[in-house]
């Protein structure tokens, strides 16, 4: 059977290569501006009937609130509960800056609907403080200079915490794999790996949080 190429398919509609490339260019511009206007758009007013009552356990505290089904856990943390440690980066599960622990496992809060987080134990970077002091992973990041701009750091710290809860004595390779879901635009990876290794050593010798 002769295969049908897209060019054959498009022939009837008069699409030329030049015209196609032109439309791709225009589409890219439209995509860029469209994305920007979407990000700034004020959400339409929601009928209270469409809100759902949920109880979320975050850093050991139970919060009862009304949410829209489309709200992500990240949105609720930042915009409703003022827990702004978790950062909004790509908002599509590609950068890791929104990482939180869900029942001790690192997950992306940007890809988790708030309604799906009910009944789970959520831990954000704020929950890793010991009283007013930094937790051991946070301290290790500070001591090893494991950041430059710091935007990805809360997600990195929470990912490291999740790694150490599942594997308290990771090898360097396991640290690199465990931290592979978090991007650092400044490229502080070498120091991040050292910080995580140091935090693991601290727990091994009983100095952990």
Residues that bind other proteins (CB under 8 A): 3-7, 9-10, 13, 15, 17, 20, 24, 27, 30-31, 34, 41, 43-44, 46, 50, 52, 68-70, 72, 75, 91-93, 96, 99, 102, 105-108, 110-113, 115-116, 159, 162-163, 176-178, 180-182
What are the structure tokens assigned to 141, written together?
A: 């990041």
CB of 147 to other proteins, least distance (A): 19
CB of 97 to other proteins, least distance (A): 11
Q: Is the CB of 45 or the CB of 205 nearer to other proteins?
A: 45
Contact 195, 144 (CB under 8 A): yes
CA dist 177 and 121 (Å) reads 24
CA dist 144 and 199 (Å) reads 10
Rounded to the nearest angstrom, the gap between the alpha carbon of residue 136 and the centroid of all alpha carbons in its chain is 21
CA dist 2 and 99 (Å) reads 49
Q: How many CB atoms lie within 10 A of CB 145?
A: 12
Q: Is the CB of 52 or the CB of 130 nearer to other proteins?
A: 52
CB of 184 to other proteins, least distance (A): 13
Q: Is the CB of 24 or the CB of 131 nearer to other proteins?
A: 24
CB of 186 to other proteins, least distance (A): 17
Q: Is the CB of 113 or the CB of 143 nearer to other proteins?
A: 113
CB of 27 to other proteins, least distance (A): 6
CB of 132 to other proteins, least distance (A): 29
Residues near 103 by beta carbon (within 8 Å), at least 6 away in sequence: 120, 121
3-state helix, strand, coil in the chain (%, to 5): 45, 15, 40
Q: Is the CB of 120 or the CB of 194 nearer to other proteins?
A: 120
Max CA pair span of the chain: 73
Q: Is the CB of 127 or the CB of 178 nearer to other proteins?
A: 178
CA dist 32 and 26 (Å) reads 10
């Amino acid at each position: 059977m002769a295969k049908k190429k897209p060019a054959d398919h498009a022939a009837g509609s008069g699409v030329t290569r030049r015209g196609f490339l032109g439309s791709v260019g225009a589409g890219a511009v439209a995509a860029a501006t469209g994305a920007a206007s979407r990000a700034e758009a004020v959400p339409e007013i929601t009928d209270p009937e469409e809100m759902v009552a949920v109880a979320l356990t975050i850093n050991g505290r139970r919060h009862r609130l009304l949410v829209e089904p489309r709200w992500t856990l990240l949105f609720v943390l930042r915009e409703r509960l003022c827990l702004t440690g978790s950062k909004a980066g790509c908002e599509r599960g590609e950068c890791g800056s929104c990482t939180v622990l869900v029942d001790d496992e690192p997950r992306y809060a940007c890809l988790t609907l708030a309604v799906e987080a009910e009944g789970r134990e959520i831990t954000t970077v704020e929950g890793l403080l010991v009283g007013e002091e930094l937790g051991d992973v946070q301290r290790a990041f500070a001591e090893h200079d494991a950041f430059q701009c710091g935007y990805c750091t809360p997600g990195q710290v929470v990912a490291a915490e999740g790694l150490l809860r599942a594997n308290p004595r990771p090898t360097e390779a396991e640290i690199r794999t465990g931290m592979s879901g978090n991007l650092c635009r400044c490229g502080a990876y070498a120091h991040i790996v050292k910080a995580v290794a140091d935090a693991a050593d601290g727990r091994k010798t009983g100095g952990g949080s």
